[in-house]
Structure 1
């Protein structure tokens, strides 16, 4: 019995080893076949796909840390914007056909003017016949006043006539009347009514003579307000 069992083991072992070797060889061939015929060749790239729809807004973030106060700036300049009306022409003329005023000291004529602004200047002009005669050297001046006072902005407005040799008698033939002008600008006069006068007086350190204003001709005073 033991001999029979040993015979069976001796016969079956080579057969089992042979079957295992055949099974292993079959699996190896299957793996090689799969690797050879089932591998994919990469084809050409496809068309680019379209962009997707925009996503929805995300969750709001948390508030940041408050910033610190900045450094204090320098003090600015105060600028006041001024709105002024456009300049309007303002002038006046007073005229006399024949003054024939023979005074040597005093007011010759007056013209009242309405000044619209305090920051403007007045241009004044007198045009008329002036005459002076005397026995010896003499001098007379014709000048403007504004509300009774001579101009101080900057200086008086005047004209003079001087004779260094007179005639022996005042009624001599030396009696020349000439049309002359007294003209200038005066600043610093406030707005409102202004009495503009033309006066005749003496020159400093000279005796007066026989003066005449506006003889046998038209005399005029022109007043004009001008921007500074």
Structure 2
């Protein structure tokens, strides 16, 4: 069974690979990115899979988000996949945190994904699958933090995990399942060449998790391999 998936951050990395795998499986893919006209790899993918529809969306531009919500009003969206993210400066530990960058990361990784859920939850409720998924990170797990540091990125993912938990409660009456997912340490521009797995392997696991997700699992945090991660 196929359906419609809306994915953010589709110009590269996990988002681009998710577009490829879902489109190959026959899904209609609403592929959002900041500059679709410049997204060469996405445009090439669309030539192979016409069911991919590139859409202009900077997730921190809420006027754009509202406009897109109006354009898609009444259209069922089976899976809303919040993938777009911003890592921020690397290697900045205690005593060297940039407050401005911290705000920018929180805007991209926590506030914007929540606003997407608020904008499109009616579309999701009108679908068959009824899933809102957030790409989080294991570094956002408080229970798993044994190394310290990483204040900016860690806190943005810890915060978005709390968003997931609250949404899973607030949207339960609409039959919507809300989950957080750790994609693994992936060989992307963000993960770097020293990462452990490819984007293809990561998305294969994430896709399997999404398509076997049940409402009873809502409000939980999963690794791409299906194992649960403690908050």
Q: Which bin holds the TM-score, normalised by the shorter protein? A: under 0.3
TM-score by length of 2: 0.22
The answer to which structure, 1 or 2, has the higher relative contact order (CA under 8 A, 6+ apart) is 1
Where is the helix percentage greater, Structure 1 or Structure 2? 2
**Structure 1 or 2: larger strand share?**
1
The two structures have a TM-score, normalised by structure 1, of: 0.22
